[in-house]
Amino acid sequence: MSNANVTLAARTKLPTQFAEFELVGFTDATGKEHVALVLGEVDDGAPVLARVHSECLTGDALFSQRCDCGPQLEAAMQKIANEGRGVIVYLRQEGRGIGLINKLRAYAEQDKGLDTVEANEILGFAADAREYDIAAAMFAALGVREVRLMTNNPKKLEALSELGVHVVERVEHTTEGTPHNKHYLATKSAKFGHLF
């Protein structure tokens, strides 16, 4: 069960090319801010199509092709729009939890031939330092009890389940690769066990 504490701080409309979402802002106990994109009624007890997406400035906002983050976020928004109901929990844990500047340093190590895991480790970080307790707390605050989770990451499924999120289905969430992220995707599969 999640011990994280979040405060629902703001709600507003967010019109997008996919649908008009409700954008719900949260703060956690450390003061860090996170958001959820919500479409339709999600607190009625029925399983909700959902994604837990970790912030990726380079992929989500700057259209980097080094990763698949931006396309995954867009695909999740489109799938939820198509279904007319769902939640995207957007966590502020850049670079697999190491922060933006360290992520850029890891990119520089990858430019020398290291993969994403080796780059994080040579900088003294875990391969993946992300945590999902805030996501579990945000789902609870939104009244979401059961999710159909869009992910390829079995560790995310396991972590959320351990935190009390009832994952009733894993929804495959693959996107088109690019010449720039082939090695990155192969590393996710080989070293993180992602299911593609």
Residue 51 in marked binding region: yes
Q: Is 95 annotated among the ligand-binding residues? A: yes
Q: Any known ligand binding at 94?
A: yes
Q: Is 55 annotated among the ligand-binding residues? A: yes
Q: What is the dihedral of CA 179, 185, 190, 195, to 10 degrees?
A: -130
Catalytic option among 28, 60, 105, 130: 130
Active site residue 11: no
Question: Would you say 52 is a known binding-site residue?
Answer: yes
Q: Is 156 annotated as a binding residue?
A: yes
Give the whole-angstrom CA distance, residue 105 versus residue 116: 11
136: DSSP letter: H
DSSP state of 112: T
**Known catalytic residue at 170:** no
**180 labeled part of a ligand binding site:** no
Tell me how far CA of residue 87 lies from CA of 18, 80, 142, in angstroms. Answer: 13, 8, 9
| Torsion, Cα of 105, 110, 113, 117 (10° steps) | 110
User: Of these residues, 68, 128, 145, 148, which one is catalytic?
Assistant: 128
Indicate which residues carry an active-site annotation.
128, 130
Q: Binding site: which residues?
A: 51-56, 67, 69, 72, 94-96, 116, 151, 156
Q: Binding site for Zn(2+): which residues?
A: 56, 67, 69
